[in-house]
């Protein structure tokens, strides 16, 4: 189930230490071998000790059951007759630049007795050498034209890189065998057009199987030979695909430096792609083009030739263990899947098929507590929907009496349904239809963490856990559960006992008084090192003191949805349990459907100032978001103001402005909840959303603000992805729809960064103005120096703070100040090491780390980062909307992923 939260992380140091220790032990055994002949029992004992050590380390990235389940499956897939059935791993040339980390990941698998077939490319290395030798690379249709000189260089480069990887593995005590020929037979792809480029016609797996039987990892290049012995160059991705068709492995892994496939508009990583369900629609998306379209087409063609149990994963080398041994996975998982159904009758599913599924999988039936007839009889007098996939690898039954909260009474998944993530697809289909849901699972369910991850809350009694999503208020949960019990829809074991209203709980803080449930969680995964911290901090105590969060559905209008921020916001709103997007306005896109919002069909309109005033007067929406360029939203805000005057006192809509127009305006509340009053935001109707750079800068400086050396300026150097530069309208697409393109393109940056607005950037004044409110003496405002740059990645800001200190501090003191300041903040992550782009890109929170102090103790340096489209804009906007509309601050925001 690879769509789970990616919270569990494997310590790179732990991996390296375990592999190196095992390598040294192996080297010692080999040294003994040279002098004496050790017994087979001794060698087997050492090997088992290595395996046990690495296996225990795997428990740090997933549950023990997860790890052991995957080890068992992978080990059984490579029997003696087909030893190469575990995985094919294709390594991009760029990944070879970090060969030590790559070797550690591969050695890790070797230590637990797994033998992937490894095939590598060497494109970047080849380009570098042929250009230095005066050969100009030539491509046709994305295929490298290969003449004799290019092939000569390519062969040399491939052999060098192959031996370099083998040497790195051998250095760790991992046996590896270089296989640079004899596997691929090819014919010319098109000799006149591409030269010495091959199309694979046959794969000989015997050298690979011989290597694995000899206890060595096979390391291949993508060079092939024709029938008459001519060496031919073959694209490494295509060679890996042909290899997989022959071997039919459980996993085909493509290692690249990006760590996955990404949405071309929002920049978010695509966790899972189910080809049978999504391929056609995905290929129609305007952002799916060029290399992305080619990759998806190749993946589909490959998986169509493999068993449905096979899947493709696109990940980074350091995520290999998490991808293979945890349900949560790591990068992008591509699988065939099956098309889903939902039917309102047993006959539409097939009564005999459904009875068989219940008989084979229902825990209650298997234990004798229920019967198949009883399960089906319970459906006779209640409206229900049956969800599932075509082969019934997963079946879910949701009872849904009119006007009542639905209950998922059965969730029955086969082994294949769990392993291939079909259970996620079915659950997501249910969630799309039902904004609230309750369901139960046995307390000893081996997939219990899966249920926790998808629930907003749970409690456990009498060996069963009750889960739910869509309700944030504990008292409402009690009321709903009591209603279930009174109508016989749920076991009496779940009827609350003790006080009728349990104390409200924020995070993991233990409530006072008697607690009626054995456990209480809210978006917390058991065993996770992160979760909800105690309510000791200002933030948590402020949240705890508020009234219960509203669950009333409300309506939102968005003006200016064409840009990247608008697109990111509409995507997030698709997951909001209560807030519904009813209007989107864009002059250029009028009449076209909004594709990034999936809760309901919405069409772009072109709202005039008069339209806005009329809608506000008539109360058509509850909130407005202005996602317009700086300087142009005032007429729309004025229109809302005029319309609200025609309504009763206090009934006017909330306005959140994403531009800089009102960040300095009296009467507007500045919406940075982690630093300034949440109560003020809750009471406000006019909220200015902070700038992305300004958000990161203020979060960096705030914990140290009372320690700044008088008369000195903190300096923040910020680097943002090019999406932060905004968008312009591009040429129409194939359907005539105007396209959105970035103002600054990666090509224009030529692989580097471009500093701009070196002095007097508006975010200097914005951050300084609001930070001064935190000073003991605000009459002496703080100033900061801010230097921004734009970089050739899509989204994500990295900010480096250098701050002069009035008193000497140690690095640990600085970290303690940050931990105290942000204790309990769900969208703040504090780490020891310096954050990097993957820590912030596509993330909803802010990450800080790398706490260092100059040797003289008078200057601190701290690094923070966020995604400029999310916490720097859309996610923060949703926090402010939630507070102002009375919702839980984090409704619709996946805080468990932070």
List of domains in the chain: 12-261+304-310 (3.40.1160.10), 340-531 (3.40.630.30), 533-898 (3.30.360.10)
What gap in Å lies between CA 616 and CA 655, rounded to an integer?
A: 11
Q: 485 vs 890, which has greater pLDDT?
A: 890
pLDDT at 414: 85
Q: What are phi and psi of 872, to 5 degrees?
A: -80, -5
| Buried-exposed string 685-705: b where 16+ CB fall within 10 A, e elsewhere | bbbbbbbbbbbbbbbbbbbbb
CB 823 within 8 A of CB 882: no
pLDDT at 132: 82
Confidence of residue 504 (pLDDT cuts 50, 70, 90): very low
What gap in Å lies between CA 672 and CA 308, rounded to an integer?
A: 47
Q: What is the arithmetic mean of pLDDT over 559-583?
A: 89
Q: Is 707 exposed, middle or buried (0-12, 13-18, 19+ CB in 10 A)?
A: middle
pLDDT at 500 over 60: no
Confidence of residue 271 (pLDDT cuts 50, 70, 90): confident
Confidence of residue 90 (pLDDT cuts 50, 70, 90): very high
Least confident range of 264-273, 556-565, 661-670, 801-810: 264-273
Q: What is the arithmetic mean of pLDDT over 472-498?
A: 73
Confidence of residue 364 (pLDDT cuts 50, 70, 90): confident
pLDDT at 204 over 90: yes
CB proximity list for 369: less than 8 A, separation 6 or greater? none
CB 627 within 8 A of CB 660: no
Tokens 């996946």 belong to 894
Please choose, from the candidates 305, 329, 317, the residue with its C-alpha nearest in 3D space to the C-alpha of residue 248: 305
Q: What is the arithmetic mean of pLDDT over 373-387?
A: 88
Confidence of residue 510 (pLDDT cuts 50, 70, 90): very low
Q: In what order do the strands lie in the sheet with 251-255?
A: 176-179, 217-220, 117-120, 87-91, 251-255, 311-315, 332-335, 272-274
CB 835 within 8 A of CB 898: no
Q: pLDDT tens across 421-477, in order?
A: 788 889 988 998 999 999 988 877 767 778 887 888 887 776 778 899 998 887 888
What gap in Å lies between CA 84 and CA 216, rounded to an integer?
A: 12
Q: What is the arithmetic mean of pLDDT over 492-496?
A: 51
Q: What is the arithmetic mean of pLDDT over 239-254?
A: 91
- The distance of Cα 244 from the centroid of its chain, to the nearest Å, equals 27
Q: What are phi and psi of 734, to 5 degrees?
A: -65, -30
Average pLDDT of the chain is 81
Q: pLDDT tens across 281-296, in order?
A: 888 888 887 678 878 8
Give the residue ranges of DSSP H helices in 487-630: 538-544, 564-573, 609-618
Q: Which residue among the candidates 169, 398, 660, 692 is catalytic per the annotation?
A: 692
pLDDT at 528: 28
What gap in Å lies between CA 201 and CA 477, rounded to an integer?
A: 62
Q: What are phi and psi of 607, to 5 degrees?
A: -75, 130
CB 48 within 8 A of CB 311: no
Three-state secondary-structure class, residue 525: coil
> What share of the chain has pLDDT > 70, as a percent?
80
pLDDT at 614: 94
CB proximity list for 749: less than 8 A, separation 6 or greater? 722, 790, 791, 792
Confidence of residue 553 (pLDDT cuts 50, 70, 90): very high
Look at the chain and count its residues. 898
User: Per DSSP, which regions of 326-393 are E strands?
Assistant: 332-335, 340-343, 384-389
pLDDT at 877: 96
Q: Is 692 a known active-site residue?
A: yes
pLDDT at 270 over 70: yes
Q: 264 vs 683, which has greater pLDDT?
A: 683
Angle at CA 102, nearest 5°, toward 221 and 163? 40
What gap in Å lies between CA 378 and CA 557, rounded to an integer?
A: 43
Least confident range of 148-162, 530-544, 545-559: 530-544
């Amino acid at each position: 189930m690879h769509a789970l939260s990616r919270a569990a992380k494997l310590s790179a140091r732990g991996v390296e230490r375990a592999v190196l220790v095992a390598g040294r032990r192996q080297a010692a055994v080999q040294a003994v071998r040279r002098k004496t002949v050790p017994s087979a029992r001794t060698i087997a004992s050492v090997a088992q000790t290595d395996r046990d050590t690495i296996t225990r380390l795997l428990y740090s990235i997933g549950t023990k059951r997860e790890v052991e389940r995957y080890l068992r499956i992978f080990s059984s897939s490579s029997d003696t007759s087909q030893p190469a059935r575990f995985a094919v791993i294709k390594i991009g040339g760029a990944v070879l630049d970090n060969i030590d980390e790559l070797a550690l990941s591969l050695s890790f698998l070797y230590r637990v007795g797994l033998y992937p077939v490894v095939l590598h490319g060497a494109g970047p290395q080849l380009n570098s050498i042929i250009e230095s030798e005066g050969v100009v690379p030539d491509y046709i249709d994305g295929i490298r034209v290969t003449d004799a000189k290019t092939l000569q260089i390519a062969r040399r480069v491939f052999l060098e890189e192959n031996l370099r990887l083998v040497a790195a593995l051998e250095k760790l005590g991992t046996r590896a065998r270089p296989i640079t020929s004899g596997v691929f037979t090819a014919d010319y792809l098109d000799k006149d057009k591409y030269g010495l480029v091959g199309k694979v016609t046959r794969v000989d797996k015997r050298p690979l199987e011989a290597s694995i039987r000899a206890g060595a990892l096979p390391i291949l290049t993508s060079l092939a030979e024709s029938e008459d012995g001519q060496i031919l160059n073959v694209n490494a991705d295509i060679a890996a695909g042909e290899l997989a068709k022959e071997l039919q492995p459980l996993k085909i892994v493509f290692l690249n430096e990006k760590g996955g496939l990404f949405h071309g508009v929002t920049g978010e990583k695509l966790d899972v792609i189910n080809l049978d369900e999504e391929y056609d629609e995905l290929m129609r998306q305007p952002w799916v083009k060029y290399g992305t379209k080619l990759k998806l087409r190749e993946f589909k063609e490959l998986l169509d030739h493999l068993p449905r149990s096979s899947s493709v994963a696109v990940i980074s080398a350091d995520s290999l263990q998490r991808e293979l041994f945890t349900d949560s996975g790591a990068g992008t998982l591509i699988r065939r899947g099956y098309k889903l159904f939902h039917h309102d009758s047993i006959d539409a599913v097939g009564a005999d098929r459904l009875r068989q599924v219940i008989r084979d999988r229902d825990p209650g039936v298997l234990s004798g507590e229920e019967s198949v007839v009883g399960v089906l009889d319970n459906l006779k007098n209640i409206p229900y929907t049956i969800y599932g996939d075509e082969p019934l690898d997963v079946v879910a039954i949701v009872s849904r009496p009119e006007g009542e909260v639905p209950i998922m009474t059965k969730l029955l998944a086969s082994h294949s349904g769990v392993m291939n993530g079909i259970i996620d697809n079915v659950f997501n289909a249910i969630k799309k239809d039902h904004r609230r849901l309750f369901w139960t699972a046995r307390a000893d369910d081996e997939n219990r963490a899966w249920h926790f991850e998808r629930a907003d809350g749970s409690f456990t009694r009498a060996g069963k856990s009750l889960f739910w999503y869509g309700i944030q208020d504990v008292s409402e949960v009690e009321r709903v559960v009591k209603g279930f019990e009174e109508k016989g829809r749920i076991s009496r074991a779940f009827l609350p006992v003790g006080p009728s209203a349990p104390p409200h709980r924020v995070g993991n803080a233990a409530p006072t008084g008697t607690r009626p449930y054995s456990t209480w969680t809210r978006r917390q995964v058991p065993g996770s090192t992160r979760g909800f911290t105690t309510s000791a901090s200002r933030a948590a105590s402020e949240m705890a003191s508020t009234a219960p969060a509203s669950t009333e559905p409300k309506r939102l209008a968005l003006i200016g949805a064409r840009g990247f921020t608008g697109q990111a916001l509409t995507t997030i709103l698709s997951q909001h349990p209560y807030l519904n997007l009813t209007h989107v306005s864009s002059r250029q896109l009028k009449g076209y459907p909004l594709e990034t919002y999936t809760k309901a069909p919405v069409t772009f309109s072109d709202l005039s100032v008069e339209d806005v005033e009329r809608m506000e007067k008539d109360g058509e929406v509850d909130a407005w978001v202005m996602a317009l360029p700086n300087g142009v939203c005032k007429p729309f805000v004025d229109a809302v103001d005029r319309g609200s005057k025609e309504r009763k006192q206090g009934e006017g809509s909330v306005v959140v402005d994403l531009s800089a127009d009102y960040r300095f305006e009296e009467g507007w509340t500045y919406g940075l909840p982690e630093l300034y009053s949440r109560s003020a935001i809750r009471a406000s109707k006019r909220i200015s959303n902070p700038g992305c750079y300004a958000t990161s800068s203020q979060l960096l400086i705030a914990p140290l603000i009372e320690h700044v050396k008088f008369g000195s300026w903190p300096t923040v150097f910020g680097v943002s992805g090019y999406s932060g530069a905004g968008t312009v309208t591009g040429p129409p697409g194939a359907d005539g729809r105007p396209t959105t393109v970035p103002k600054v393109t990666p090509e224009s940056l030529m692989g580097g960064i471009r500093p701009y607005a070196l002095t007097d950037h508006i975010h200097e004044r914005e951050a300084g103005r609001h930070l001064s409110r935190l000073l003991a003496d605000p009459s002496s405002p703080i100033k900061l120096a801010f230097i921004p740059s734009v970089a050739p990645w899509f989204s994500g800001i990295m900010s480096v703070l250098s701050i002069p200190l009035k008193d000497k501090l140690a690095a640990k003191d600085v970290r303690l100040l940050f931990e105290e300041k942000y204790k309990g903040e769900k969208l703040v992550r504090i780490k020891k090491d310096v954050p990097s782009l993957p820590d912030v890109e596509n993330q909803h929170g802010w990450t800080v780390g790398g706490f260092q102090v100059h040797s003289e103790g008078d200057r601190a340096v701290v690094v923070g980062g966020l995604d400029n489209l999310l916490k720097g804009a859309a996610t923060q906007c949703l926090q402010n909307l939630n507070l102002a509309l009375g919702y839980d601050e984090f409704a619709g925001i996946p805080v468990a992923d932070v």
